[in-house]
């Protein structure tokens, strides 16, 4: 998972400690679907689901989606994204969102658009608290 986070572009200090991975896996609102060959993790998608008053229901978010650099273009990312959407539907979510950098290759290739996601005009406002 740490190696894949690096492939996702989060380099430098190790973001995913055993503690944070374990925290996500145990979190009642989070699920992680993994594509694996034996014990080798080829890719994963992390999804969280939480209630929103404004939606009068649940909102799902694709928090992280990554496939190892050597295994891209084989359909693994598509299967992981389909698993995320199927999970959101099974949970009766009203919506599934993903926040993505416009500089990413997958954005430029229209990866999410090819899978029926529609870009909306929402600004992300942030305070970095680290």
Ligand X SMILES: CC(C)(COP(=O)(O)OP(=O)(O)OC[C@H]1O[C@@H](n2cnc3c(N)ncnc32)[C@H](O)[C@@H]1OP(=O)(O)O)[C@@H](O)C(=O)NCCC(=O)NCCS
Establish if 114 lies at the interface with ligand X (CB under 6 A).
yes
Minimum CB distance to ligand X, residue 78 (Å):
3
| Spatial CA neighbour of 130 closest among 2, 8, 12, 3 | 12
- Report if residue 11 touches ligand X, rule: CB under 6 A: no
- Least separation in angstroms between residue 77's CB and ligand X is 2
CA angle 35, 105, 41 (to 5 degrees): 15
Q: Answer yes or no whether residue 48 interacts with ligand X by CB under 6 A.
A: no
* Cα dihedral 94→100→22→41 (10° resolution): 110
Stretch that binds ligand X, among 10-18, 26-34, 66-74, 86-94 (CB under 6 A): 66-74
By CB under 6 A, residue 60 contacts ligand X: no
Q: Which residue has the tokens 């374990």?
A: 22
Nearest to 99, CA basis, from 115, 80, 112, 83: 112
* Binder of ligand X out of 46, 65, 88, 96 (CB under 6 A): 65
Binding site for ligand X (CB under 6 A): 8, 65-67, 72-78, 100, 104, 106, 109, 111, 114
């Amino acid at each position: 998972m740490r190696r894949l986070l690096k492939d996702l572009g989060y380099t430098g200090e190790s973001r995913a400690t055993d503690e944070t991975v374990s925290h996500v896996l145990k979190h009642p609102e989070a699920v992680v679907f993994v594509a694996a060959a034996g014990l080798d993790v080829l890719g994963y998608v992390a999804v969280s689901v939480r209630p929103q008053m404004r939606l009068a229901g649940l909102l799902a978010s694709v928090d992280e989606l990554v496939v190892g650099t050597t295994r891209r273009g084989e359909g693994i990312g598509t299967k992981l994204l389909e698993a995320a959407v199927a999970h959101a539907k099974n949970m009766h979510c009203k919506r599934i969102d993903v926040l993505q950098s416009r500089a990413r290759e997958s954005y430029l290739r229209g990866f999410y658009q090819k899978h029926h996601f529609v870009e909306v005009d929402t600004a992300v406002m942030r305070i970095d608290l680290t």
